[in-house]
Amino acid sequence: MAPEYAMEGLFSLKSDVYSFGVLLLEIISGRRNRSFRSLEYSNIIGYAWDLWDSGKAMELIDPSVVGSCYQNEALRCIHVAMLCVQDSAGDRPTMSSVVLMLESENATLPMPRQPTFTSTRSSRGVDVLKENQDVASSNDFSPVSPSVEGSAVCDRQGGHGGVLVVHLFAWIPPSLQICVVAAATVLGCKGGVVGVWATEDSDRIMGTKYSNHHSSSSSSVFSLYYTITLSLLPILSTSLDTITPTQPLTSNQTIVSAAAAFELGFFSPNNSDNWYLGIWYNQIPTKTIVWVANRDNPLSNSSSATLKINQDGNLVLADQSSQQNPIWSSNFTAASSNTVAQLLDDGNFVVRIENDDNPANYLYQSFDHPTDTLLPGMKLGWDSKTGLNRMLTSWKGTDDPSTGAYSFEMDVSGLPEIYLWNGKVIDYRSGPWNGLRFSGVPEMNTSDVLTFSFVTDANEVTYSFGVTDKSLYSRLIVNPSGVLQRYTWIETSRVWNLFWYAPDDQCDNYKECGVFGVCDTNNSPVCECLNGFEPRNQQAWDLRDGSEGCVRVSALECHNDGFLRLEDMKLPESSTAFVDRSMGRGECEKTCRENCSCTAYASADIRGGGSGCVIWSGDLEDMRQYAAAEGGQDLFVRVSAADSRGIGSKTKAVKTGKIAGITVGVVVLLLGLTIFILWKKKRKQRLLKEQTERRGTNKCTHIILKSTQSQFLSEGVRVSKRDFSGERSTTDDLELPLFDFKKLLWLYHNVSNFCVAISGYMAPEYAMDGHFSVKSDVFSFGVLVLEIVTGKKNRGFYSPNQQLNLLGHAWRLWREGKGLELLDPSVGEFYTVAEVLRCIQVGLLCVQERAEDRPTMSSVVLMLSSESASLSQPKNPGFCMLRHHGETDSSSSRQDESCTLNHVTVTMLDGR
C-alpha cells in the first residue's frame, strides 16, 4: 500500500503508481518486499534507496541475471521505480509518464526523493536474524499459478525448449517489456531460462516459457511475477494508446499517444452535467479539447460509459441504457473482426486492421470528422472518392461542445475557396487559392514556423497546414462567436498566443461594398467604386452604407472595351467563374476580350509570373484592395473604352470634383508657398537642430514637428488637403523642393523604422455634412499625431478592453491620467515624458469634435515647438467609434457606429 492510503485512507491513481514502483523493485531484485530480510533493513525499498543513493544500484539486481542484462536499462528501471515510491503522491509520476520514461532511452528523468517505509531493523531484530539464519534466497517463494486461462501451445518458432502454458493479449510498450525482461534475463528465452516472450512484429506478451534447464522454484518466481503483472494490467491500460476487442476504455481511463502528445478520454465541460468522449493535449496544463465524438449526444452519467470494439469491428460508445443503440459509433461498413483503435501522435484517432499501419487502409479516422479545430496535417475540404466534405463547426458555447451556428467549409465550384457561414448566411470569404495563399489572406505566407498546402486534383480539393517543429503546438479554430482564430502554444509563458484571426476589420465582412465596389481600409469611407462606375444609391453611400454597390457609368461596347488593371486585390467571389489552369495570361485576356459577357479575368496561379485563367461573367462581388506591402494579386476588369483611356497600372476611384479647388490659382499658390518657405527656412532649421540635439533619438516628435511645419505652412496659405498620410512622413530629407507642386502635396514615402504606415481620416463635419476647411486638415493631422505616438493605425484599431477606435482609446487614457500608456513600446527609453504628453495633448486638441474648438496649424506648430506654451484641455474627440469585435458580439452587428464618449447616439441624419 501507498503511505497515504495506509496511514490516512487516501487513495488515488498515484497510489497505484506506488504499488507499481514496489513491483519493479521486486522484479529487478528477485525479492518480495513483504518477506525481505536483511540485517539493516525491514523492507526492500529502504535497501534499494541506500544502494541508489550511494551509487551502488547495480548491486540491487538479482545475482542470477546480473551478467546478462544491459546496465543502462537496469539503472533506468531502478530510477523509475525510485520515482514511483516517493513519499509525496504529488512527486510521483503518472502511469503515462512512467511508460514514457521506460520506453525512451533519451527521456530526462528527475532525481527521486527518499521514499517512505525505509526504517532499519532494531538491534533485537538483527539478533533474531542472526540466531535463525533463515534468510531466503531470491527464489524462495511458494508456487503461485497464473491467474488467467489460456490454451496450451507448443514451442515458439526458432525453438528454445519448453511449452507455452499461458496465452495473453496484453499490449505494452516495447521498451517497458525489454526493461522488465532484461532485469530478469528472459528476453527471447536467452540461455534457456524461464521467461516471457513477445512476437517481433506485435510487441505484445505472448506467454511464459518453462525452460528444460531451470529449477521449479524459478518457475514459481515467474508465475508469481505473471500474477502480479496481470493484476496491474487495468492500471497500465490507462497509459497505452490502443483499444482492442479485449481491452475497452472505461469512464475512469484514458489512452495517451505514443509520444504523450495527445490524450483521449471522457470529460465534462465547466458548468455542465453532460459527459463527452474527446481528445485534448496531454502536455498542456489547461485542458484544450481538439475533438469531440458525441458532441450532439452527450452522456448524462459517465460511470457506466464504455468505448469498445464490437463484433463487426466498429468502435462504439455506449452505457448501460444504450447497449442496443450506441451513443456514438465509427459506423464504417467494411466489417472486420480483428480491428483496433489507436490514438496517434498527431491527434488522429483511427480504427484499423490489426498489424496494418498504412494510413490508406484506415477504416475510420477522427481527422475525417473534425469538430471546431484544425490540427497540423488535418485536411479541410472535399474527398472526391468518398464525397466526404471535411469542415469545421463551432461549439454552441464555451462550455457546450454541441454543434454551433458557424461553419468553415470549402466551396469547390469555380475556383475553390473557403467560406465562414453563420447558419445559411456567409460572413467571411477567404478568397481563392492563388498558388501561394488565399487571395483574401495576404499575411498567409510560409514561414519558419508554419507551412501551408492546397491540393486540387481528381481525388481531392483540400487545404491543410503543418508545423516545421514537431514540438510546436498550433491549431486553427472557429470559436462560438464566429471568429476564425489561429493559436500557438508559448512554452515559456505557458499560454495560448493568438497568432491570427478573421474577420479582422470592416473589409473582411462579406460583400461590404456590394457589386463592383472595392473595400479599402486605408480609405475613409472604406468603400469606393471602380473607375467607370458610380454608387447605385448615392444617399446610402454618403451615409457609409455601400452594400448596394456600384453601376456602370457608360455601357460596354464589347470589342471596343478596355481593361482596368487593379493591383494587390482580393479576387471577387469565384463560385460561378470559369477556370482553365492550362491557359497563359495572353490567351486568357484574348478569351475574355472575345467573350462579350466576360467582365474580368485573372491568373489562377501567381507563381512564376502567373499561369492559368479565371474568367468572371456578370457582377463582381466582395472585392478588396490591399496596400502594396500587404499583397494580393492583379485583376483585370472590363470597362468601356472611354473609361479605360489614360488609366495607369494601379487605379482607384478618384472623384475629381473633390480636388478641383486645389488646382484653382495654382501659379499664385506656388509663388506664395515659395516666398513663405524661403522666409521660414532658416528659422525652421534652427528649431529642428535645437530639438534634435535636445531629444536625441526621439524620432516620433521629430517627425510630428517636421510634418507640421512642412505640410501646413501657415493659416494664411489656405491649402486644404483631402488626404494626409503617415506613409509620407519621414525622418529623412523633409525639405520641400521649390516649384514641385506634386511633392508639395505629397511628402516622401520613407517611414521611420517604428512609425508605421498610416492614412488620414476625414473630419466629422466633412464626412457628415460635406463642410471642408483648414480645420478639417487639422483633424487629419491630429489623427496622424496619435498614430505616430502609438505606432498604430486608427482604422482597424481595437482597444483591448473597450470597443473604441484609436481616438476613443487615447481620450479614455488621457482622462484617466494614463497618457504614457499610448506610447509605442518600440520607442524604448529614448523619450522625454513631457514631450510625449505634449504631443498627445496636441493630437487630442486637433481631433476635437467641433471644428471651432480645434487650434489653427500655426498654433499647433507653436505648441509643438515651444516647451513653455500654455495648452488648453481637450474636449471629446470626433468619431470615437464603437466597434463590435467578433469575439464578443455576433457578426450581425459589426457596423461602425458614430458616438461620443457619453454614448449620445445619432438616430437619423437629415439633409438641410
In a domain, 901, yes or no: no
**Domain stop point among 217, 236, 255:** 236
Average pLDDT score over the chain: 73
92 and 139, same domain (yes or no) = yes
In a domain, 272, yes or no: yes
646 and 527, same domain (yes or no) = yes
Domain CATH number, residue 402: 2.90.10.10
Catalytic amino acids?
Answer: 723
Indicate the range of 289-303, 600-614, 717-731, 860-874 predicted with least confidence.
Answer: 717-731
**How far is the C-alpha of 912 from the C-alpha of 910, rounded, in Å?**
6
Q: Are strands 289-292 and 276-281 parallel, antiparallel or unpaired?
A: antiparallel
In a domain, 483, yes or no: yes
428 and 451, same domain (yes or no) = yes
- pLDDT tens digits for 69-121? 788 888 889 999 999 998 888 889 988 888 888 887 777 788 888 875 554 44
**Domain stop point among 236, 261, 293:** 236
232 and 101, same domain (yes or no) = yes
Split at pLDDT 50, 70, 90, the class of 393 is very high
* 495-502 sheet: strands from edge to edge: 373-374, 474-478, 484-490, 495-502
210 and 264, same domain (yes or no) = no
In a domain, 319, yes or no: yes
Domain CATH number, residue 152: 1.10.510
The domain total for the chain is 5
108 and 232, same domain (yes or no) = yes
446 and 298, same domain (yes or no) = no
219 has a pLDDT exceeding 90: no
In a domain, 78, yes or no: yes
790-795: average pLDDT: 80
Task: Of 874, 893, 725, give the one whose Cα is nearest residue 803.
Answer: 893
In a domain, 511, yes or no: no
486 and 564, same domain (yes or no) = no
385 and 331, same domain (yes or no) = no
844 has a pLDDT exceeding 90: yes
20 and 151, same domain (yes or no) = yes
Domain span holding position 70: 1-236
**How far is the C-alpha of 496 from the C-alpha of 286, rounded, in Å?**
10
833 has a pLDDT exceeding 80: yes
425 and 539, same domain (yes or no) = no
Percent of the chain with pLDDT over 70: 67
**How far is the C-alpha of 20 from the C-alpha of 750, rounded, in Å?**
68
899-911: average pLDDT: 42
**Domain stop point among 323, 352, 367:** 367
In a domain, 47, yes or no: yes
Split at pLDDT 50, 70, 90, the class of 203 is very low
**How far is the C-alpha of 362 from the C-alpha of 441, rounded, in Å?**
34
Name the amino acid, one letter, at 432: P
- pLDDT tens digits for 509-542? 999 999 999 999 988 889 999 999 999 999 999 8
Q: Do 15 and 64 touch, CB atoms closer than 8 A?
A: no
129 and 225, same domain (yes or no) = yes
Read off the pTM. 0.53
Q: Do 845 and 855 touch, CB atoms closer than 8 A?
A: yes
Residue 34, classified by CB atoms within 10 Å of its CB into exposed (0-12), middle (13-18) or buried (19+), is exposed
**How far is the C-alpha of 198 from the C-alpha of 178, rounded, in Å?**
10
Domain CATH number, residue 886: 1.10.510.10
Q: Is the peptide bond before 442 cis (omega within 30 degrees of 0)?
A: no
In a domain, 35, yes or no: yes
